Amino acid sequence: MTETVTVGIPKPVHYSPDLESLQPDERETENGLNDAFNTILERTSGDYGHAVRSVHAKAHGILKGVMSVRGDLPQELAQGLFEHSKDHPVYLRISTNAGDILPDAVSLPRGLAIKVLDVDGNRLPDAEGRNQDFIMVNGPVFQSKTAKQFLGNLKMLAKTTDRMEGTKTVMSSVLQTVNDTLEAVGVASPKIQSLGGAPNVNPLGETYFSVTPFRYGEYVAKFRLKPVSQDLTALTGKKIDVSVSEDAIRETIQAEMQTVDAAWEFQVQLCRDIDRQPIEDPTVEWSEEEAPFVTVATIRAGPQDSWSADKVQRVDEEMRFSVWTGLSAHRPLGNINRARKAAYQHSSDFRQNFNRCPIHEP
Ligand code: HEM
């Protein structure tokens, strides 16, 4: 196997369990998160008569595709799922991050969940099935440094769930104008975007980031999914007219996916300096100059019905995506990732019980 040529760039940091530093009150925070999620889940399921995800409740599209792992990867990139060149079926779920189903005029960060099927190797604790999930959003950083800080924000959010829909819509359009103005002077704010000021652009053209780090076999990495086919890059930054319908994004994607040939590169950013690319703080962006992204696989999804009843039932209703569903070789790292294990399980258990619909790995 060849070595990666990264002139002037330090060698990747070797994975070891002591790269993580556990806090004494993590269990207490996890319980607090589940209490706050219960407030959201009980309110939304009561209102809709149906349980939805406690975050990223609204899906805009569900795609089926194929991930092709590259065959020419050097040793440091041929790790875990990416050790062997292979084609894997994948499901993709595109979402917006609120825990309630809001009109698309409320513009919040977007999510992209990926389920890679038929993956062999030692599994993470409690990980069912043979799949590897990757969960991403369309920005490189998380707004909270720790799960405890996230809990503080979540408690506030839980109080406004499913209330003041009109106010949220108006606030969002005001914040979008504020954000556009900030962007014009080069200082777009993730905080404002997380409150509804994100530009209402087509999710098919966006680049998605894991935000938090993961074990990458012998090393440590963050992940990114970047649109590369011309059909997708033509949609990058293209605004959707959300005044025509509450579900304008879903309808636009459904119309476009009749003909769009979608291809993304799945990229890996190896940690090369534990101080400059920290494990425990996802508010810090890992600089691309110091830790470049490298493509390890391609995901393709051909023209299809992105909102077919069958896919909605199978993916939106009967599946859970969690960073803890996967290989030990891709163990989620850091305080935020540790807190996600119980939270994702709790939210999907609630959906399973309320909807009397078993959730399972395909
Ligand atoms: C302490 C931090 C976090 C907590 C407690 C949390 C909690 C949750 C929960 C409970 C769900 C719904 C699970 C379900 O019902 O199936 C969810 C979904 C999701 N989360 Fe997080 N999350 C956290 C951090 C993050 C981060 C850092 C990202 C950035 C990549 C992220 C992106 C997403 C996405 C995209 C989904 C939707 C997954 C799907 O389509 O099913 N979350 N989160």
pTM metric for this prediction: 0.93
Q: Which residues contact 244 (CB under 8 A, 6 or more apart)?
A: none
Helices (H), the chain: 26-48, 147-160, 165-184, 190-194, 230-233, 248-256, 309-311, 335-355
Mutational pocket test of ligand 1: of 53, 94, 146, 269, the residue with most ligand atoms within 8 Å of the beta carbon: 53
Distance CA 326, CA 322 (A): 8
Does the residue 362 lie in any domain?
no
pLDDT 10s digits, 4-19: 545 689 999 999 999 9
Give me the pLDDT at residue 310, please: 97
Does the residue 38 lie in any domain?
yes
Is the CB of residue 334 less than 8 Å from the CB of residue 212? Answer: yes
Mutational pocket test of ligand 1: of 55, 92, 193, the residue with most ligand atoms within 8 Å of the beta carbon: 55
Does the residue 1 lie in any domain?
no
Is the CB of residue 280 less than 8 Å from the CB of residue 332? Answer: no
pLDDT 10s digits, 246-277: 999 999 999 999 999 999 999 999 999 999 99
Give me the pLDDT at residue 220, please: 98
Give me the pLDDT at residue 160, please: 77
Does the residue 6 lie in any domain?
no
Residues in the chain: 362
Q: Scan for tokens 């219960």, then name that residue.
A: 38
Distance CA 51, CA 41 (A): 7
Give me the pLDDT at residue 21, please: 95
Distance 7 CA to ligand 1 centre (A): 36
> Which of 128 and 177 is assigned the larger pLDDT?
128
300 pLDDT more than 80: yes
pLDDT 10s digits, 112-132: 999 999 999 999 999 999 999
CA nearest neighbour of 225 among 341, 81, 109, 67: 67
Does the residue 11 lie in any domain?
no
Is the CB of residue 303 less than 8 Å from the CB of residue 269? Answer: no
- The ligand 1 site (C-beta within 6 Å) comprises 33, 37, 53-56, 93, 95, 111, 113, 135-137, 142, 147, 150, 210-212, 282, 320-321, 336, 339-340, 343-344, 347-348, 351
338 pLDDT more than 50: yes
Strands 58-69 and 293-301: antiparallel
Helices (H), 161-302: 165-184, 190-194, 230-233, 248-256
Q: CATH number of the domain that 270 lies in?
A: 2.40.180.10
Does the residue 7 lie in any domain?
no
Round the average pLDDT of the chain to a whole number and report it.
Answer: 91
Residue 72, judged by CB atoms within 10 A of its CB (0-12, 13-18, 19+), counts as: exposed
pLDDT 10s digits, 48-73: 999 999 999 999 999 999 999 999 99
Task: Determine the structural domain holding residue 28 and report its residue range.
Answer: 17-354
Work out the end-to-end distance of the chain between its first and last CA atoms, rounded to an integer number of angstroms: 34
Locate the ligand 1 atom nearest the alpha carbon of residue 113 and give its number.
Answer: 40
Q: Scan for tokens 């997708």, then name that residue.
A: 232
- Percent of the chain at pLDDT > 70 equals 88
Is the CB of residue 273 less than 8 Å from the CB of residue 10? Answer: yes
Distance 185 CA to ligand 1 centre (A): 31
Does the residue 10 lie in any domain?
no
pLDDT band at 3 (very low <50, low <70, confident <90, very high): very low
Domains held by the chain: number: 1
Does the residue 256 lie in any domain?
yes
Tokens of 165: 């829909």
Residue nearest to atom 43 of ligand 1 (CA): 55
Mutational pocket test of ligand 1: of 54, 135, 141, the residue with most ligand atoms within 8 Å of the beta carbon: 135
CA nearest neighbour of 112 among 136, 132, 130, 143: 136
Cβ count within 10 A of residue 20: 16
pLDDT band at 172 (very low <50, low <70, confident <90, very high): low
